[in-house]
C-alpha cells in the first residue's frame, strides 16, 4: 500500500500524437493534508482512493485504492468538494517501466505531467528525451492541489 513515484513536467507532447489515451475525471471528498480521499472515473471504471502524506522527498506515500461500481463513482463525484480534475492519460512503456503521461484539460489546460512508479526510491529507470523538469514533491503538481488552485490561475 505504498506509492513510490517520480513526477516530471513535459514541455512538448508531440510524441503522443497518434497514441490512444483514456479519459480520467476525479474529485476529492476530503482534502485534509494528512489524508485525501479521491473519487475517480477512469474510462468505464470507478475507483475510491485514500492517500496519506508524502515523505520528505515527496517520492513515497501511503495509497489505498479500491475499484468501485461506475454508478457509485458517478454519484460520489456529486458529493466532492468544488473543482474537478479532467485529463487524458497515456501509458508509455520506456525500458522496464511505464510512464503515465497526463494531459490536463479544463482549468488545468496546458499542464502535462509524466509519472513513473518505482519499487523503491532509489530504483534506476530510463529517462526518455521528452522528460522535462522533475517536480517530485512539489505540492503544486499534486492533483489534490490542482483541483483547488488550477494551473491556468498560477
**CATH (domain of 107):** 2.40.320.10
Query: The whole model's pTM is what?
Result: 0.94
SS3 category, 38: strand
Question: Which DSSP symbol is given to 128?
Answer: -
* Residue 32: pLDDT band with limits 50, 70, 90: confident
Note whether 53 and 34 are within 8 A (CB). yes
What is the rounded distance in angstroms from the CA atom of residue 138 to the CA atom of residue 93? 24
pLDDT of residue 63: 95
Integer-rounded Cα radius of gyration of the chain: 15
Predicted confidence (pLDDT) per residue in 49-96, tens digit: 999 999 999 999 999 999 999 999 999 999 999 999 999 999 999 999
Q: In this structure, what C-alpha cell is assigned to residue 128?
A: 526518455
Instruction: Identify the domain containing residue 147 by its residue range.
Output: 2-153
pLDDT of residue 1: 86
Predicted confidence (pLDDT) per residue in 36-57, tens digit: 999 999 999 999 999 999 999 9
Of 95, 4, 93, nearest to 55 by C-alpha is: 4
Q: In this structure, what C-alpha cell is assigned to residue 91?
A: 501509458
Q: Structurally, how many domains does the chain consist of?
A: 1
Q: Which residues participate in catalysis according to the annotation?
A: 28
Amino acid at each position: 500500500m505504498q506509492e513510490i513515484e517520480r513526477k516530471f513536467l513535459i514541455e512538448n507532447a508531440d510524441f503522443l500524437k497518434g497514441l490512444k489515451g483514456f479519459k480520467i475525471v476525479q474529485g476529492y471528498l476530503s482534502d485534509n493534508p494528512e489524508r485525501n480521499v479521491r473519487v475517480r472515473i477512469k474510462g468505464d471504471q470507478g475507483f475510491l482512493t485514500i492517500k496519506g502524506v508524502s515523505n520528505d522527498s515527496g517520492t513515497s506515500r501511503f495509497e489505498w485504492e479500491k475499484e468501485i461500481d461506475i454508478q457509485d463513482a458517478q454519484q460520489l463525484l456529486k458529493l466532492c468538494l468544488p473543482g474537478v480534475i479532467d485529463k487524458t492519460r497515456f501509458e508509455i512503456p520506456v525500458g522496464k517501466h511505464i510512464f503515465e503521461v497526463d494531459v490536463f484539460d479544463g482549468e488545468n489546460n496546458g499542464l502535462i505531467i509524466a509519472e513513473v512508479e518505482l519499487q523503491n526510491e532509489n530504483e534506476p529507470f530510463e529517462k526518455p528525451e521528452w522528460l522535462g523538469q522533475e517536480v517530485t514533491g512539489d505540492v503544486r503538481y499534486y492533483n489534490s492541489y490542482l483541483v483547488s488552485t488550477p494551473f491556468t490561475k498560477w
